[in-house]
Each structure stands twice: as C-alpha cells, then as structure tokens.
Amino acid sequence: MKKILLMCTAGMSTSMMVQKMQESASEKNFDVEIEAFGSEHFNELVPKYDIVLLGPQLKYMLNEFKSRGVAQGKLIEVINPMDYAVMNGEKVLAHALELMG
C-alpha cells in the first residue's frame, strides 16, 4: 500500500483534495492511503508516508521540507497549482503514483 500525505497551512483545503484523490483511487482499485494535515505536523508525520505533497500555498517552504524529508528518504513535491485549483484528484493521484514509481 502506498501512503500519501498532503499538507497545507491548516490541512483544510488539502482535505478536499484527499477526498477527490480517494474517489479516483477507489474507481481504479488502487491500494493507497491518503491523508491531509497542517504543515506544523510535518516532522511527526513524514516517517509514516511514502510521499508528501504540499499545497501550492506552501511552495515557499519546499526546500526546507525537502531538507528535512530527504534525510528520511521521502519524496516531497508541490501539487500543481492548476490541478489544485480545480481539485483534480485524479491527476494529483496519478502524479503522486508516478513519482513513487
């Protein structure tokens, strides 16, 4: 099972994206766990996930999060702003799975 963590400022907007991604995963019978939290939980949660996707509003923190996550062997990327704006969970899920290989 692949484990995907979405993070934004408070975990609210990414929670909506999680729902869209889960719908897509269910339709395609993908075995994934997807959750969303606020960025203040990064350090405690990152070890539990295969990839961390940041909401576009956290793009400015990408390098900081990468420096913390790379030490633990984690992929950390920013969600495409256009996909995020229209809540395209299918595309965001596909991109996350592609990054994980």
Over residues 45-91, the pLDDT tens digits come to 999 999 999 999 999 999 988 887 665 788 999 999 999 999 999 99
CB distance 15 to 45 below 8 Å: no
Residue 11: pLDDT above 80?
no
Structural domains present in the chain: 2-100 (3.40.50.2300)
Taking only the tens place, the pLDDT of each residue in 34-54 is 999 999 999 899 999 999 999
Catalytic residue among 5, 8, 25, 34: 8
Q: What is the pTM of this model?
A: 0.92
Q: Is 30 a catalytic residue?
A: no
92: left (phi over 0), alpha (psi -120 to 50) or beta: alpha
What secondary structure, in 3-state letters, does the chain show? CEEEEEEECCCHHHHHHHHHHHHHHHHCCCCEEEEEEEHHHHHHHHHHCCEEEECHHHHHHHHHHHHHHHCCCCEEEECCHHHHHCCCHHHHHHHHHHHHC
Residues facing residue 17 across a β-bridge: none
